């Protein structure tokens, strides 16, 4: 089942390939976060250089996909023409404790009018779009 309507742009790896490991992992139902091989610092979004030690020796690390809501908003306006008539929806900023507390944005599944609590436990939900060209998988979030 798809949370989002059809007609939205398809997320694909950037031409430089930097975020390809993330998108490849989502297709397998895994959540990957970039991690510096020199100092061990996690970071998100992907960059060629470590934000802490400035090393170029970056890698990817599988994380649990469990986190907590750090912040959120309930947009009512469509940010893309395909979303017209599909508001409101809930967008969460999720903090990942097993990835150095990096934060990722995503949609919160469920009733768009639900009460949302800062600090609530959430987990990643992988939404495959196998019929898309090319196929992709989105990471959504659900309260646990």
Does residue 1 register a pLDDT over 60? no
| Predicted confidence band of residue 2 (pLDDT cuts 50, 70, 90) | low
The predicted pLDDT at position 94 comes to 98
Give the domain ranges of the chain: 20-143
The pLDDT tens digits of the residues spanning 130-143 come to 988 889 999 999 99
Q: Which one, of 37, 78, 73, 69, lies nearest residue 55 by Cα? A: 37
The confidence band for 70, taking pLDDT boundaries of 50, 70 and 90, is very high
Query: H-helix or E-strand containing 141?
Result: strand 136-143
Tokens of 115: 């009460």
Strands 121-129 and 66-73 turn out to be antiparallel
The three state secondary structure string of 66-120 is EEEEEEEECCCCCCCHHHCCCCCCCEEEEEEHHHCCEEEEEEECCCCCCCCCCCC
Query: Percentage of the chain surpassing pLDDT 70?
Result: 97
Order of strands, sheet of 91-96, starting from the edge strand that comes earlier in the sequence: 102-107, 91-96, 66-73, 121-129, 136-143
% pLDDT > 90, the chain: 78
């Amino acid at each position: 089942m798809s949370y989002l309507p059809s007609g939205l742009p398809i997320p694909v790896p950037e031409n430089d390939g930097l975020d390809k490991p993330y998108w490849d992992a989502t297709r397998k139902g895994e959540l990957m976060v970039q991690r510096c091989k020199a100092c061990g610092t996690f970071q998100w979004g992907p960059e060629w250089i470590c934000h802490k030690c400035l090393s170029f020796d970056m890698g990817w690390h599988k994380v649990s996909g469990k986190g907590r809501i750090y912040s959120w908003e309930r947009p009512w306006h469509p940010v893309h023409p395909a979303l017209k008539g599909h508001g409101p929806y809930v967008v969460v900023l999720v903090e990942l404790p097993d990835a150095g507390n990096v934060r990722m944005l995503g949609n919160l599944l469920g009733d768009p009018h639900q009460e949302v609590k800062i600090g609530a436990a959430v987990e990643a939900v992988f939404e495959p779009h196998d019929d898309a060209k090319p196929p992709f998988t989105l990471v959504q979030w659900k309260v646990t």
